[in-house]
Amino acid sequence: MLRYCLMIALAMLLAACAVEDPYDPLQHYEQLEHTGIVVSPQPVGGRFAPIDRDVVERGRYLVEMLGCGACHTDGAFEGAPDTEKLLAGSATGIAYTNPLETRFPGVVFPSNITPHEETGIGRLSDSQVGDAIRMGMERHGRRRLYTMPWPGYTKLHDEDVGAIVAYLRSIPAINHEVPAEIRPGQRASLPFVYFGVYRTRD
């Protein structure tokens, strides 16, 4: 009888283990309604010669078409872009290593691409900005930007890259410093997205 009872207890224990919830790799994430297209800011009058107006307007068109504001504007990942900080960088980061494989991935924050001299691209040369767009090179040229979708921009014509740079030079300079990169293995204190769809919730 004792043996029979022990067998029943063991069977119940195994059954309880079998219904344990399976591991959910997305348990620490929430799905977002990402804003795909963000309206680009108007150029500031007086920052470019009238003869360059068409070039600047073409640059604005390209920036909108390429979706630059969808990453480089605060709130765009959450579906609520901050219209006071258009193209001034994001405090929501992007994981550049797989957070479904490691609990604490590496995270970078989309940069401020307004012409602010301290926190934006104001001190970068036209060629440095162009290299970031078309080759994903960071400002010192030592490595490629992890999450910049530069492979899709490599075939942009020189004239188009020049137009984008001219436009970025023409918009309001916004003082907005984005957080520093978080290396893999460090816990992020700020939210980040993965593939622009999931954001951390704890």
Confidence of residue 9 (pLDDT cuts 50, 70, 90): very low
Cα separation, 64 vs 160, in Å, equals: 13
Of 86, 147, 94, the closest CA to residue 112 belongs to 86
With a cut of 70, say whether residue 133 has pLDDT above it: yes
Q: pLDDT tens-digit profile of 44-73?
A: 866 666 668 899 999 999 999 999 999 999
Lowest mean pLDDT among 37-46, 155-164, 169-178, 191-200: 191-200
With a cut of 90, say whether residue 36 has pLDDT above it: no
Q: pLDDT tens-digit profile of 84-102?
A: 999 999 999 998 888 878 7
Confidence of residue 28 (pLDDT cuts 50, 70, 90): low
What HEC string does the chain produce? CHHHHHHHHHHHHHHHHHCCCCCCCCCCEEECCCCCCCCCCCCCCCCCCHHHHHHHHHHHHHHHHCCCHHHHECCHHHCCCCCCCCCCECCCEEECCCCCCCCCCCEECCCCCCCCCCCCCCCCCHHHHHHHHHHCECCCCCCECCCCCHHHCCCCCHHHHHHHHHHHHHCCCCCCCCCCCECCCCCCCCCEEECCCEEECC
pLDDT mean over 183-187: 91
Q: How far apart, in Å, are the Cα atoms of 120 and each of 48, 83, 137, 162?
A: 19, 17, 16, 18
**What pLDDT is stored for residue 171 in this prediction?**
95
Average per-residue pLDDT for the chain: 81
**What pLDDT is stored for residue 52 in this prediction?**
83
Helix 53-65 × helix 158-170 angle, to 10°? 100
**What pLDDT is stored for residue 5 in this prediction?**
44
Task: Count CA atoms closer than 13 A to 165's CA, side-chain side.
Answer: 20
The model's pTM:
0.78
**Beta strand 29-31 pairing with 198-200:** antiparallel
Contacts of 15 (CB under 8 A, 6+ apart): none
pLDDT mean over 38-46: 79
Cα separation, 51 vs 12, in Å, equals: 82
Contact between residue 87 and residue 73 where contact means Cβ atoms under 8 Å apart = yes
Confidence of residue 78 (pLDDT cuts 50, 70, 90): confident
Confidence of residue 198 (pLDDT cuts 50, 70, 90): low
